[in-house]
Amino acid sequence: MSLLEEELQAEAEESTGAAATSPAALTAFRRGASGIAVPIITAVIAFVGGGLIVLATGHDPLTTYQSIFNGTGLNWLFPWVTGSERATAAGNLQQTLITATPLILVGLAVSFAFRAGLFNIGGQGQYTVGLIIAVWIGSSFAGMPPVLHIAFAIVAAGLAGGAWAGIAGVLKAATGANEVISTIMLNWVAIWLGVYCFQLGGPLHNPHMPTTPVSDNVVAGAKLPVFWGSSSLQGLDVGIFISLALAVVYALVIRRTRLGYEARAVGFNPEAARYAGMNVGRTWIRVMLICGAFAGVAASLDILGWEFSLATNVIQTSQIGFYGIAVALLGRNTASGNVVAGVLFGALLTGTSDRNISLSIDPTLVAYLTFMIEGLIILLVSTDVITLRLLKGGRRIGVAFKRRRSDEVTATEGGAK
């Protein structure tokens, strides 16, 4: 029983449209907005919902959101923003893009799994393992040539993340263990492993910091070069390009390679794929390896790009991998969608982080407002998974409508088997 299968069943059921949108309206909607409308509507509803809580607790949502927007640095794009305001905006926009860098990649880690009918909740664990390996390699091997050192750290973190996700893939292929549960468990194992490594007296703890549970610092040669802004003020590093390049790789793998084809076939219907001669278990394992690699690389870009060291409380409070689920869902599992959703979430996180807030409302409140907005977005996309898939292809909708009677019967019967 795969989640995607259920989703497709639900989708087929949805298309009969008893309670949902009428077919004509749906088609018009699809043609008119080609699916971009749904994520936008989702985000708007979530922001309005969050605004209502702000309003209910006696604050002005409009000014709150305006300062959040300015905090994202997106006002840098407006030509009328000049002078010191422009410099601040540039700094904020750099932060937004730095935050978006890993989000795009962990989004891809969830997306690729989704395409293959797997639900990778384990982005957080794969990311954490990547963090551990990246900071370990980045802070060791001080004499290495910079480019080689960086490549080594990134590749090793990717491999580590891949191996971590691979555990879930192998368990699924070999024993049928549900990957949702195994990846959730692997998340926590990874987090405690990280705490173990860097706690006081842990094997990778920085001996020069006797009272702080933190790793060694990444050596200068392993830091990613900053190309926009000052490196001392945490300017934008080249990690964003690696992230974007991997999004392109993802798109190519999905569309142009045998693995991508097999992944989609397995995701669409594992039984049919099996009958067609594909090795479903092997596809699951390979897909999970690649997913984990995306998350591991995301971690290495954070470590080598701006974090430079890793404290245990960062490991325990990081939510990057979980944001990845929202990014993937909002980005509809496409490469471009992930990039846009990654930047959107990066902007949201940066705009509401307390250092960027200069307003009447308590910054802590705004930080929690972010969580609420994210929660609402995820809740809304949880149903949008259905709508979005409906919107995705005209052919499939046509088929769904033609067969709606039989689909509904088989879908519900299949659901109860």
Partner 1 sequence: MSVGAIAAAPPRAVSPKHVGIAGIVLAALAWVITVPPIEVRGMVPSIVLAVVAVLAGAWSIAGGERKLGSEAIVVALFAVAGAAASANSSAATLSTVFTWSALVAATLRYATPLLFGALGGVISERSGVINVGLEGMMLMGAFWGIYGADLLHSWVWGVVVAMVAGGLLALVHAFFSVHLRANQIVSGFGINFLALGITGYFLEYHYGPNGTPLDISMIPNVKIPGIQHVGFFGAAFGDANLMTWVGIALVPALTFFLFRTRGGLRLRSVGEKPRAADTVGVSVVRVRYAAVVASGMLAALGGAYLSVGFVGSFSNDMTNGRGFIALAAMIFGKWKPWGALWACLLFGFGSAMSDRVSGVNQTLGTLFEALPYVLTLVAVAGLVGRSRPPAADGIPYVRE
Binding-site ranges for partner 1 (CB under 8 A): 1, 3, 6-7, 9-10, 13-14, 53, 57, 119, 121, 167, 171, 174-178, 180-182, 184-186, 188-189, 192-193, 195-196, 199-203, 317, 322, 325, 329, 362, 364-365, 367-383, 385-386, 408-409, 411-413, 415-417
Cα(205)–Cα(311) distance, integer angstroms: 9
Instruction: Give whichever of 395 and 417 is closer to partner 1, judged by the CB atom.
Output: 417
To partner 1, the closest distance from the beta carbon of 386 in angstroms equals: 7
- Minimal distance, residue 190 CB to partner 1, in Å: 9
C-alpha 8: how far from its chain's center?
22
Which of residues 193 and 359 has its CB atom nearest to partner 1 in the complex?
Answer: 193
Shortest distance, position 84 Cβ to partner 1, whole Å: 30
Question: Quick check: 332 and 39 in contact, CB under 8 A?
Answer: yes
Q: Is 311 helix (H, G, I), strand (E, B) or coil?
A: strand
Nearer to partner 1, 294 or 323 (CB): 323
DSSP H helical ranges for 116-227: 123-139, 146-175, 179-198
CB atoms under 10 Å from CB of 25, counted, come to 11
Instruction: State the nearest-atom distance from the C-beta of 247 to partner 1, in Å.
Output: 22
φ and ψ at 67, to 5 degrees? -75, -30
Cα–Cα nearest to 280, from 108, 118, 389: 118
How far is the C-alpha of 218 from the C-alpha of 215, rounded, in Å?
Answer: 9
Closest to partner 1 by CB, 18 vs 233, is 18
Please report how close the Cβ of residue 411 comes to partner 1 at its closest, in angstroms: 8
178 Cβ contact list (under 8 Å, min separation 6): 172
Nearer to partner 1, 161 or 235 (CB): 161
- From 283, 165, 305, select the one nearest 238 (Cα to Cα): 305
Nearer to partner 1, 114 or 152 (CB): 114
Helix (H, G, I), strand (E, B) or coil at 205: strand
Residue 346 C-beta: closest distance to partner 1, Å: 16
